[in-house]
């Protein structure tokens, strides 16, 4: 179990490091992307595809992201129920509290990159930050969080590998869909993936530490 906890910590730090490196690299190879008319870092990578807006793909990625919100709704409702029943925030399950704290940090990241530090502007010319992709960040974190919570409850291989496979499929569709819809550059979705994985491994690494202490 301790090795598992260390692995989560290492992976969380590794993906956060990759995200920070990608942020630095976005100042390299800056050039105008044809469809957007904007100067974007790592332009040779970002120019591998065209960025024409496709409403149907954009809507599909929206819906898939909203599907992953079910885990948020469930955990919030469960947390409120436990708070009312146990009459103390400190008696609410620790995984719910840590999960909620991570969501607050993710919202802070979204506000920071969407409204304060706009590294890229979206190809669609919306005056919103494009890096990292919030859709990919949230979908990655929440889809994998759903898998983790299912594994906590059901101790069998079907639940474990079935939920993980579904999470990976949803993440992959949203990741490629955000580029195909023309809403994000390639580096935006990679950044969203790295940051989502960093939050996931950090969050559930901490949860596992507390669960080991409880045991």
Q: What is the pTM of this model?
A: 0.89
CB within 8 A of 99, min separation 6: which ones? 75, 145, 203, 207
Residue 110: inside a domain: yes
Total tally of structural domains belonging to the chain: 1
pLDDT at 38: 81
pLDDT at 90: 73
Read off the pLDDT band of 4 (50, 70, 90): low
E strand spans, 119-176: none
pLDDT at 17: 95
CB 117 within 8 A of CB 174: no
Span 23-74, pLDDT tens digits: 998 889 888 887 677 888 888 888 888 888 889 999 999 999 999 998 888 8
Strand partners, 121: 129
In the numeric block, which tokens belong to residue 76? 């919030």
Which is higher by pLDDT, 50 or 108? Answer: 108
Residue 47: inside a domain: yes
CB 154 within 8 A of CB 142: no
Query: Averaged over 172-183, what is the pLDDT?
Result: 93
pLDDT at 52: 85
CB 7 within 8 A of CB 193: no
CB 149 within 8 A of CB 167: no
For residue 98, pLDDT over 70 is answered with yes
pLDDT at 79: 82
For residue 2, pLDDT over 70 is answered with no
Mean pLDDT (the chain) is 86
Query: Averaged over 168-196, what is the pLDDT?
Result: 94
Angstrom distance (rounded) from CA 91 to CA 112: 32
Read off the pLDDT band of 194 (50, 70, 90): very high
What residues make up the domain containing 105?
2-210
Residue 215: inside a domain: no
Query: Averaged over 165-178, what is the pLDDT?
Result: 94
In the numeric block, which tokens belong to residue 122? 């979206």
């Amino acid at each position: 179990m301790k090795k598992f906890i260390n692995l989560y910590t290492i992976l969380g730090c590794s993906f956060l490091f990759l995200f920070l490196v990608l942020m630095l690299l976005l100042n390299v190879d800056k050039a105008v992307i044809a469809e957007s008319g904007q100067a974007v870092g790592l332009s040779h990578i970002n120019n591998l595809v065209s960025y024409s807006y496709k409403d149907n793909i954009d809507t599909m990625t929206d819906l898939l992201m909203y599907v992953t919100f079910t885990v948020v709704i469930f955990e919030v409702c469960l947390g409120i129920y436990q708070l009312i029943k146990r009459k103390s925030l400190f008696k609410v399950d620790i995984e719910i509290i840590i999960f909620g704290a991570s969501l607050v940090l993710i919202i802070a990241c979204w506000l920071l990159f969407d409204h304060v530090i706009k590294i890229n502007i979206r190809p669609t010319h919306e005056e919103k930050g494009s890096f990292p992709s919030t859709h990919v960040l949230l979908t990655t974190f929440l889809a994998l969080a759903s898998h983790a919570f299912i594994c906590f409850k059901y101790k069998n291989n079907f639940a474990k590998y079935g939920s993980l496979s579904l999470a990976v499929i949803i993440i992959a569709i949203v990741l490629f869909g955000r580029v195909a819809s023309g809403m994000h550059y390639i580096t935006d979705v990679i950044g969203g993936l790295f940051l989502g994985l960093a939050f996931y491994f950090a969050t559930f690494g901490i949860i596992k530490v507390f669960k080991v202490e409880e045991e």
